[in-house]
Structure 1
């Protein structure tokens, strides 16, 4: 790997982290020495990269810093195509359309040889199962999560018992056969998982829930023993 490639990889790695990451963690992921990481960060800072931090405290890329023109490896292109095709198959129609549009925008700014690789990828996503919850409901749940609004739902459990809940939705999981809303349930006063195909009706309330969704997600991950991403 050339030094230019290593510097670009370092920028890409920093971009993936929203919070400061240690030099040791960067070195381990890049497969280089800690001294090399410190030297490369100093080089990037000298060239105007918006990297904040220092040894012992960690480093973070300031918001708004623009990376060089899009360049991808073969594996990165394959990941983009496969991910887009998976979303088109298993997301609601609006999310599927957005995945296709995003891939088209990426293709428009790629060099011609990479654009050809993107269009001729042979990685396919198999068709997803038909899920009872329709496009309108999934889109409404996603909107409530983005806006951090409460939802009132009529829910049927596995034994077909009905209940009415007010929930704070903060995540939506897409699986092959089901979609799961992760939320704080006011009735149970705890985190609960709701299958979208068991939601008989839902209404987005005007009231916002009192905590930020990222804080709820972090707490839920800790409760479930899931490592942060």
Structure 2
């Protein structure tokens, strides 16, 4: 058993003796069920992936801190997290994936997670992203359908590459201006006061403007890395000269321009 690398306990309905896993020195990937996820006070030093695949999960158990953990997946159809404070047990985590955390209103602890690269928390109740202020590590934020109202306070996150803000409550996107590291931006169904900021996002490769109020393709013509644009049900006039120019540009790049 000392060479065991993966242990899946999500179908085990019994509690486990404490320290049962601590001697599994090669263990890298472990999952628990709702019956046993609080049973261990210590995990092996080399665990990298923790999965708690059930909807009742409210927190990460109070393990002795495990600095080796890089990836945490929490929930099934949903999860019950209200804050990220329990992530103190995994201080060097790089990826957090929460399944529909509809009660998650407080993400202030991300400021302590300096190695965090991905926060996947679609449908979260969070409205304030100021905890990400100039976060040096974050590369990907997924908050589709969340209660986010503004990007004010985030500052320029120097490594942010992916931002999914589809169906959020954001009405002003100018705080994203000059985030030149952004490669993938999804603002489906948003209707901000102005779209002028978008011409400053010179690193964009993928842009989703489906069902938005966006109407001026000329703002995209100087985005030299843009390869995929979705304009379905936006306010763009497909007969306009600026759209024709964008269409020609995407053809030259062998890119993908979607209007339907």
TM-score (norm 2): 0.19
Greater helix percent: which structure? 1
Greater strand percent: which structure? 1
TM-score (norm 1): 0.20
